[in-house]
Amino acid sequence: MSGNVNREYFDKYMVPCYSPAPFIPVKAAGSRVWDQQGKEYIDLAGGIAVNSLGHSNPVLAQALKDQIDKLWHMANGFTNEPVLTLAQKLVNATFADKVFFCNSGAEANEAALKLARKYARDRFGADKSEIIAFKNAFHGRTLFTVTVGGQPKYSADFAPLPQDITHLPYNDLNAVAAQISDRTCAVIVEPVIGEGGVLPADPAFLQGLRELCDKHNATLIFDEVQTGAGRLGTLYAYQHYGVVPDLLTSAKGLGGGFPIGAMLAKEAWAQVFQPGTHGTTFGGNPLAATVANSVLDQLDETLLGGVAERHQLIVARLEALNAQHGLFTAIRGKGLLIGAELAEPLRGKAKTLTNLAAEEGLIALIAGPDVLRFAPALNIPLEDIEEAFVRLERAVVRILG
């Protein structure tokens, strides 16, 4: 890559739907990242919960290198060994009977929502089409998924939008009970709302959704794009909560940095997608499936068991910062998906704080204007967490003046 490439290229050549940081990362290993100038950063963002096993994981890299010399792509008129192995692993490890592979979380959710509508139509008729979703949720950027997501700021500019979608307050089972009916074809829910502020579901809320869906023959969809692949300390969040959905969507951490998405389905739902009803060109290609197989192989009891220890350390450091500086009104989350809601006078300044943190050598996320979000690698070294919060405190001191 040319050494002359700089951040100005983005403004000159790229569609401006992002506002990337002023520095350009060029190398990374584990939870450390280096930019063009050689400056080092500690990564507590994990590519928004994507780099589940850290950057340049050597086991993933070797698996990919081995597959590169074998088979890259054949499209879905054929199958391949890595994707069949991956499907078997996911079925054996979860409630699912079948798996559909795609390239992203949005595509996985699109598939699940389409499948839920078709399942209801085939079994109960065209009038059973309502989808219940939740305010502040995020399910992707396709027109269907961005409409189902409960944040109008992402969908309002693209009207007319898909119809028969109802948004209710999250964690409000009474609101769902009052709305759901035999017209409802599906309820889609994030076990922990990510983009909308890092809000964990109450266990009784998810259990109640399961019971209401059973009562009204509605499909229960868990969007685990952000909570899956070990993020909460179990392979998927439904296992943490003990509530089994009918469909589950996965992406992000499943590929450890390589693009892949998956929809996990019970048998009766899977059979609705017969040849010609849905598809994708790149989904389940051998390279992506190979990397995801290697990710699953590394998500063993030891690694997943370490998630709780890292959660406790991050929360302890946030609480210490709060005690010293009075920064937060709430610290919440599960596993390694953690949010800290800013108090006055920092309300609305989450992005400003993460920008200062980057100047101090720390990469962190936001979840809206008021919440810091942390989603580091599941295997981030404890010493990296300690050093990250030294750097975060320097940013805090700067923003407080």
106 is in an annotated binding site: yes
- CA atoms of 316 and 321, how far apart (whole Å): 9
- CA atoms of 3 and 57, how far apart (whole Å): 25
- Give the CA dihedral 190, 201, 255, 186, nearest 10 degrees: -30
- CA atoms of 369 and 399, how far apart (whole Å): 15
384 is in an annotated binding site: no
26 is in an annotated binding site: no
- CA atoms of 385 and 379, how far apart (whole Å): 11
- CA atoms of 217 and 182, how far apart (whole Å): 7
105 is in an annotated binding site: yes
225 is in an annotated binding site: yes
37 is in an annotated binding site: no
83 is in an annotated binding site: no
Tell me how far the alpha carbon of residue 63 is from its chain's centroid.
23
223 is in an annotated binding site: yes
- Helices 58-68 and 286-298 cross at an angle (nearest 10°) of 150
207 is in an annotated binding site: no
146 is in an annotated binding site: no
Which residue's entry shows tokens 């962190």? 364
Q: Do residues 349 and 342 make contact, with C-beta atoms less than 8 angstroms apart?
A: yes
Q: Which residues are annotated as a binding site?
A: 105-106, 138, 141, 223-226, 280-281
Q: Which residues are annotated as a binding site for pyridoxal 5'-phosphate?
A: 105-106, 138, 223-226, 281
- Can you say which residues are annotated as belonging to the binding site for N(2)-acetyl-L-ornithine? 141, 280
